Chain A
Amino acid sequence: MKIYEPELPPSSKYPLILLGHRVLLSMRGAGRALLIWGEALLYAFLHFRRRRRETGRQMMIAGVKSIGVVSIVAFFTGMILCLQTGLLLLDYGQEVNVGTVVMTTLCREMAPFMTALIIAASVGSSMAAELGTMAVSEEISALHVMSINPVSYLVTPRLLALLFMVPALTVYANSLGVLGGMVVAKTQLDVEYSAYYKNALSNLEHKDMYVGLLKAVVFGQIITIISCYQGIITTNGAIGVGRAARRSVVACFLFVLVIGYFITRVFY
């Protein structure tokens, strides 16, 4: 991994020059983050056995420790979705189709999207803060000096962990969301469990599932790379660590939204 020296934000009294500098800095940052992503993927193949233990630890942090919040958010999202669409369908006497609406919306969009936001806010920010603290306390320099590539040691395990855990959590969020919808369908809309279940499954297409999973995989990669990159380039002590965590969350949210739209646009 190349060592990047700290860059101060540009200073000029001309707004256009400032804007130009900002754009250049952002593009340089994006290029560097992509290089780190490529390197991390390469090491995922080369050093997979060596990084198993750390990958397992990261999977535990990203996956198992996020289950609680994902469960609550997914269950209530399913309930809200079912209630809102169910009440509209009720006006047309079509409330029995609420299962299809909930299942399709969750599979295609909502489950990967909300899982990604939860992971970006909890795991992504913690990755940026953790790596940022390591950068300012010279732990990353220590790895360089020991000729241990920080991308292989720090980024690859996190990349692999989110590669598996975001899709897994998305499937889990999907199931719980549908379950939440089922409870509302029965108690508020008077739709039988069996009718809801049958309706939900009968109209689900394979494409809905794989597009949702593709989004989850892409979002996992986006979160890892943005968060790790922001962490690695951290300077300026505690202030820098806080800034890295904030920037990573903001950038992850934006990229998840924008890339999510374009994936939908390509497949539908």
Chain B
Amino acid sequence: MIILDNIYKAFNGQRVLDGLSLRVNKGETLAIVGPSGTGKSVTLKHMLGLLVPDSGEVLVEGEKMICTTGGQCAHLRDKFGVLFQSGALINWLSVGDNISLPLIEKTKMKDDQIAARVSEVLSMVEMDGAEFKMPAEISGGMKKRAGLARAIVLEPSILLYDEPTSGLDPVLSRKIDRLIKNLSDTLGVTSVVVTHDLVSAFSIADRIVMLHGGKVIEEGTPEEFRQSKNPTVVEFIDAQFNYDK
């Protein structure tokens, strides 16, 4: 379970999170939606301890996430697997080496066990046999899937996705959605998906929260979210589904 309690964050005087409070329940898939610049990715970075709140606190499974120096929150970060917006694959390593990196650094697995685990997670993201491809040789969608394979290789209990479908065509976007849904179902992990793609949010999330002005303005199941009377939410939904409005 992740709790963000009354988080305030400003960059160079500009407030991005303005008393944000959020709760992610164990095993659920939560989608955080909202227009660009409302603090979705900043919220995600607070969950990971990559940013320190000006005030408020972040609790991960009951423990306070404090990362003033690297070592202090490493055990909490180990619970997370993250798919970054661009995949964030290390450029000079092959896809296989990227995925095996956390295994080499954090476990005492032997080379053959690592190779087996790498091909297992590649198969889960439908990229069988792509171990030796370099990041520069694969498409944006494949980079995201390889990033996802790296995120799940250590079997984390929480998966965070930062704009998993941005920059992808609709067909590939739905493929990524199905992948996220499958992983949530098969691995039983808690998932947080930051997106502004409502089609994606409605298809994969158990619960949706909408951020606006650095705070949560709407929260509910996909159905409740659709029925929202909040004018900002209505405008956001209309902008994606009702082009004539």
Contact = CB atoms under 8 A, between A and B. Distances in A.
Interface stretch (A132-140, A179-187, A193-201): A132-140
A3 B67 CA distance: 8
Nearest to B51: A5
A223 B150 CA distance: 33
A142 interface: yes
Given A139-B91, A146-B106, A2 B68 contact: yes
Interface string A110-149: 0000000000000000000000011001110110111111
B11 A5 contact: yes
A2 B70 contact: yes
B84 A142 contact: yes
A6 interface: yes
A142 B82 contact: yes
Contacts of B51: 3, 5
A57 B92 CA distance: 11
A147 B86 contact: no
B78 interface: yes
Given A2-B68, A144-B77, A145-B80, A138 B106 contact: no
B69 A2 contact: yes
Given A2-B70, A144-B50, A145-B48, A139 B90 contact: yes
Interface in A1-34: 1-3, 5-8
Contacts of A145: 48, 50, 77, 80, 82
A138 B11 contact: no
Contacts of B82: 142, 145
A6, A133, A134, A138 — which one has the most chain B CB atoms within 10 A of its CB?
A138
Interface in A124-179: 133-134, 137-139, 141-142, 144-149, 153
Contact of A6 (B11, B48, B102, B150): B11
Given A7-B12, A137-B86, A138-B84, A148 B105 contact: yes
A6 B102 CA distance: 27
Contacts of B12: 7-8
Contacts of B67: 3
A50 B105 CA distance: 8
Nearest to A145: B82
B88 A142 contact: yes
Nearest to B14: A8
A141 B102 contact: no
A242 to B, nearest CB: 18
Contact of A141 (B70, B88, B91, B101): B88
Contacts of B86: 137-138
B74 interface: yes
B70 A144 contact: yes
Given A2-B68, A2-B70, A6-B11, A146 B101 contact: yes
Interface string B58-90: 000000000111100010011010101110111
Contacts of B105: 50, 146-148, 153
A102 to B, nearest CB: 40
B69 A148 contact: no
A57 B90 CA distance: 15
A182 B60 CA distance: 70
A133, A142, A149 — which one has the most chain B CB atoms within 10 A of its CB?
A142
B11 to A, nearest CB: 7
B69 A138 contact: no
Nearest to A147: B74
A227 B150 CA distance: 28
A49 to B, nearest CB: 12
A145 B12 CA distance: 25
Interface in B183-199: none
Interface in B9-23: 11-12
Given A138-B86, A146-B105, A147-B106, 18 more contacts: A1-B70, A2-B68, A2-B69, A5-B11, A5-B51, A7-B12, A50-B105, A133-B91, A134-B90, A138-B84, A141-B48, A144-B48, A144-B70, A145-B77, A145-B80, A145-B82, A147-B78, A147-B105
Interface of B: 11-12, 45, 48, 50-52, 67-70, 74, 77-78, 80, 82, 84-86, 88-92, 101-102, 105-106, 147, 150
22 contacts: A1-B70, A2-B70, A7-B12, A138-B88, A139-B88, A139-B89, A141-B45, A141-B50, A141-B88, A142-B82, A142-B147, A144-B50, A145-B50, A145-B77, A146-B105, A146-B106, A147-B74, A147-B77, A148-B101, A148-B102, A149-B70, A153-B105
Interface of A: 1-3, 5-8, 50, 57, 133-134, 137-139, 141-142, 144-149, 153
